[in-house]
Amino acid sequence: MENGLSFKLSTDENKLLAVVTRCADKIELTSEIIRQRIKITPYSDLFINGYLISELVLRYNSEKHEEFEFEIGERRDASCVISISEDEMKAYFSLTPNFGGIAMTFADVEKALASKGIIFGIAPIKDIKAVLAQGICTDFLIAEGLESVAGVDTKFLSLIPAAPARQPLINSDGMVDYRELGDVLIVHKGDVLMQRIPPVEGEAGRNILGEIVSPSGGLDIPFSDDQRGIYVNPEDKNQLLSAITGQPIAIPNGIVVSPVLTLKNVDLSTGNIRFDGSVVVLGNVDAGMKIYALEDITIDGDITNAQIECNGSLIVDGGVIGNSELVGWGSVAVKGGVKGYKDKNESGVYTGEEKRQRVVSLAPKIERRVKYPTRIASRGSVCVNFAEHFTIEAGIDIVVNQYSMNNNLIAANKIVVGSKGKNSGKKSFIAGGITWAMMYIKALAIGSKSGIKTHVQAGSNPYIQRRITEIKNILIQNDDEQQNIYKILAWMKDEPTHIIKTPETLVRLHHTLSKLIIDSEMYQAELQELLANVKDIDNAKIIAERNVYTGTELKINKAIWKADENRGKSVFTALRHKMSVTSR
């Protein structure tokens, strides 16, 4: 005993006790002194609890002269933990050393593995014994399964050439030719279209529990049952050949060939055309006819009072006349220009719908049909030679080579009227109607010497703004209908004798009112979302390269400018909601 401190084991010899007695040579005891003294005792291999050591120091150094025994450690056997990964492909072994207790043996490890059901991929015995000899370890990879080898599914390799890009041609001078859109992809009878590559089977694996792990992949997938326009090569069952000349269309696990439908004209002798491919009309499309194509449409002649729709590009070599509607998901090009019917004017000449009715009345009864809107709509760009009394909507650009008169032009990017070519001349202008593009509008002249009202706008998304106006009008109409129903319900309440004996009328009114309220909430939510997405375009610009005439109103974002007098070349931009006008 030294300084009144000594150590001994408990009666069961599993606990280490510190014995403190009164002494004359008491010192300022620390944890380090205690640990140093334990090292030179027979108890140095026991587990020493640091927290209890700190408690002993506090009690020993207190002013009280007491005698006591205090537990500061214990004898511990070695222990282990085996954890298995979620996919049961790996097991990890962690070993806690013994402190004066029983060491972990290889037999103990075998029992621990067996208790977990681990029987496959166990590490070599020498590696496990080496870890045991260390006395301590964390996350030793004690078992690892055999991973399966994934197979390869059937592959389908297209052998048709890449489709040409359906987009305007840019020449060597950097000019965009919106009239040259390239060729439609065609395959010919006997062409090899697709090669089927058979599957490769995978190899099974085994997890650490000895269970089989099936491989992924290796699916044997046949060609599609849809084999329109193609056939399987009799000499190679993994190859598809074209049975006809036409346009190839990719489908899941195969290809079909849709032939191009070629017609002299589209008239009463052919009927309306609906075709899952491309359509070529060598002549004209007569009044009242419809053409729908899943791919492109090419018309070499003119279109008169007809409806044309396709999911590809639309090319018209002639012109478009009257109440015709052209809709294309791709670009639309009309080389001869478009001309709709005028609205009724003060001279009393038949125009617009009245002229439309008169023209139709002169046709045979079988030709008298539903009137189409005078409109061109495209998700891509629209290019026409000239435009009169038409609505043109484009998802990208609108290009008018000569002039735009009394049209509604709407483009998500830019509108250009008037080219620098020989066909431009003095008739390159925007006069009348509404011209609206988000980014950029350019024309040789805007307005006319006669002062026709011309509205040109840039700097906001026209489609969002139009939808906002539509929703506001719908909400006004909805509110009016709700108020009318409320008035009817109030009247029925005050005059019950006038109510129909059956409750059907009252039920219908309440049902209609509920639907109007739900619709109003839906449109209000859409309106708020649209208003949140309205943004001004800071770099929006309107350019008149020659003249701006009186009667013209220009708007960029929230800035408005009206022509009180004729001007020469002008460039309009918006700066802090004010219009900036320069000559360059």
Exposure on the CB side of residue 217, measured as CA atoms within 13 A = 15
- Please report whether residue 382 resides in a domain: no
Write the DSSP assignment of 186-239 as a string of letters.
-B-TT-EEEEEE--B--B-EE-TTS-EEPPP-----PPPS--TTEEE-TT-TTE
Q: Which of 510, 533, 556 is the last residue of a domain?
A: 533
Residues 6+ apart with CB under 8 A from 332: 313, 314, 315, 326, 376, 378, 380, 381, 382, 383, 394
- Joined tokens for residue 328: 């294309």
Q: What is the number of domains present in the chain? A: 3
Residues 54 and 93 in one domain: no
Q: Say what the pLDDT of residue 358 is.
A: 36
Angle made by CA atoms 576, 577, 578, in degrees to the nearest 5: 90
- Joined tokens for residue 325: 């509607």
Q: Say what the pLDDT of residue 175 is.
A: 65
The pTM is what? 0.51
Residues 54 and 110 in one domain: no
- Please report whether residue 328 resides in a domain: no
- Please report whether residue 414 resides in a domain: no
Residues 33 and 54 in one domain: yes
- Joined tokens for residue 536: 């001004």
**Quick one: which of 158, 230, 160, 163 has its CA closest to 195?**
158
- Please report whether residue 478 resides in a domain: yes
- What is the Cα–Cα distance from 339 to 430, expressed in whole angstroms? 15
Domain that includes residue 26, residue range: 5-74
Q: At 361, give phi and psi (nearest 5°).
A: -65, -20
| Burial of 49 per CB tally in 10 Å (0-12, 13-18, 19+) | middle
Q: Say what the pLDDT of residue 67 is.
A: 85
Q: Say what the pLDDT of residue 204 is.
A: 94
- Joined tokens for residue 80: 């282990």
Residues 93 and 133 in one domain: yes
Q: Which of 55, 74, 93 is the last residue of a domain?
A: 74
293 to 125, 232, 311: CA distances (angstroms): 74, 27, 7
Residues 54 and 96 in one domain: no
pLDDT in tens, the chain (584 residues): 788 888 999 988 889 999 988 888 888 889 999 999 999 898 888 989 999 999 989 888 886 767 888 999 999 999 999 999 999 999 999 999 989 888 999 999 999 999 999 999 999 999 999 999 998 999 999 999 999 999 999 999 999 877 655 455 566 666 654 433 445 577 888 999 999 999 999 999 999 999 999 999 899 999 999 998 999 999 999 999 999 877 788 899 999 988 778 889 988 887 888 887 789 999 999 988 889 888 899 999 999 999 999 999 999 999 999 889 999 999 999 999 999 987 654 433 334 444 434 333 333 333 334 456 799 999 999 999 999 999 999 999 999 999 999 999 999 899 999 866 555 556 789 999 999 998 899 999 999 999 999 999 998 777 777 788 888 899 999 999 989 988 888 877 776 655 554 577 778 888 888 989 998 989 888 888 877 776 767 788 999 999 999 999 999 988 899 998 999 999 999 887 788 888 86
Measured N-to-C along each axis, helices 462-494 and 504-533 cross at an angle, to the nearest 10 degrees, of 150
Write the DSSP assignment of 477-546 as a string of letters.
HHHHHHHHHHHHHHHHHH-GGGS-SSTHHHHHHHHHHHHHHHHHHHHHHHHHHHHHH----TT-EEEEEE
- Please report whether residue 496 resides in a domain: yes
Q: Which of 507, 533, 559 is the last residue of a domain?
A: 533
Residues 83 and 64 in one domain: no
- Joined tokens for residue 190: 């006997």
Residues 140 and 95 in one domain: yes
Residue 63 three-state SS: coil
- Please report whether residue 54 resides in a domain: yes
Residues 6+ apart with CB under 8 A from 507: none
- Please report whether residue 396 resides in a domain: no
- What is the Cα–Cα distance from 36 to 7, expressed in whole angstroms? 12
Residues 117 and 92 in one domain: yes
**Quick one: which of 115, 114, 113 has its CA closest to 141?**
113
Collect contacts of 1-10 with beta carbons under 8 A, ≥24 apart: 2/37, 3/27, 3/29, 5/29, 5/34, 5/37, 5/60, 7/37, 7/38, 7/41, 7/43, 9/43, 10/71
- Please report whether residue 65 resides in a domain: yes
- What is the Cα–Cα distance from 82 to 283, expressed in whole angstroms? 83
**Quick one: which of 290, 293, 336, 298 has its CA closest to 314?**
298
